[in-house]
Amino acid sequence: MKSKGKSYYLIPYYLWIALFVIAPVLLVVYYSLFDLDGKLTLDNYVNFFTPVYMRMMLNSFWYAFLITLFSLLVAYPAAYLLTRTKHKQLWLLLIILPTWINLLLKTYAFIGIFGTFGPVNNFFDLVGLGEQQILFTGFSFVFVSVYIFIPFMILPIFSALDEMNLSLVDAARDLGASGWTTFRRVVFPLTISGVRSGCMAVFIPALSLFMITRLIAGNRVITLGTAIEQHFLVTQDWGMGSTVAVFLIAIMALFMILTGSSRKGGRA
């Protein structure tokens, strides 16, 4: 009886899902079926399979992959060290702190830092490397994106590591496993769920990044997000913009099915 009463509490949640998750996706699919003149057509989908959009998709994938990879490489050791520190909560707060600052502000700051006359180039000059172009390169794009996404990678990994029973590590070492084997066979498999949700929290938004592509990469990196922004704001070709969005949604869904366990639904 008790459990039945509780199901009423789910109504707001279902309403929310229907109104703000399912309805928008359906609307996007609906809009993708119309061309500029409001005619019902599949042209947008045909258009998507032209080299321009295919290359854009590969680009988006490649950069989202790099961003996720580097975030993971930095975040995992960081999260590991965090669980070993004395004032865990303080350190965690310090990592979350940058997310309180508006994304655009952080991005703008990097224009100054990476600029021709910025501190990084000053340093390069000092050590005799000479002036390098850092801003408006693929490198700066990945760097800034990783910087922005890292807290979202650290948090789930941190909680997974924190929940892990440390005596398991001792047991593994007792039984003669080397440090690396312990990590590979015990620690990593036990925290894979954290890694998975971290990757999801980074990879999916990274696929559709758009502001940073202009501000930091100077439109040298064009992702599907850029295309959507252009189609909606400039061209007002909502059909094509929606089509790109449909493919993004499909890719994301596919990614979630491939990586996700049914237990963790992700954050859509």
**Chain positions contacting other proteins, by CB under 8 A:** 36-37, 52, 55-56, 108, 111, 115-117, 133, 135-136, 214-215, 217-220, 222, 227, 230-231, 233-237, 240
Residue closer to other proteins, measured from CB, 40 or 257:
40
Please identify, using beta-carbon distances, which residue of 108 and 188 lies nearer to other proteins: 108
Q: What is the dihedral of CA 208, 212, 214, 217, to 10 degrees?
A: -110
Minimum distance from residue 209 beta carbon to other proteins (Å):
15
What is the closest distance, in whole angstroms, from the C-beta atom of residue 136 to other proteins in the complex?
4
- Please, what is the minimum distance in Å from the beta carbon of residue 45 to other proteins? 16
- Other CB atoms within 10 A of residue 198 CB: 27
Q: What does the alpha-carbon distance between residue 22 and residue 15 come to, in Å, rounded to a whole number?
A: 10
In the complex, minimum distance from the CB of residue 149 to other proteins, in angstroms, rounded to a whole number? 22
Degrees to nearest 5, angle at CA 155 with 153 and 157:
75
- Give me the phi and psi of 49, to 5 degrees please: -90, 25
Q: Least separation, in Å, of the C-beta of 106 and other proteins?
A: 14
By beta-carbon proximity to other proteins, the closer residue of 142 and 256 is 142
Distance CA 197, CA 175 (A): 31
Cβ proximity to other proteins: between 66 and 78 the closer is 66
Query: What is the per-residue DSSP string for 153-190?
Result: HHHHHHHHHHHS-HHHHHHHHHTT--HHHHIIIIIHHH
What tokens appear for 138 in the block? Answer: 């693929």
For other proteins, give the closer residue by CB, 146 or 240: 240
d(CA 180, CA 177): 8
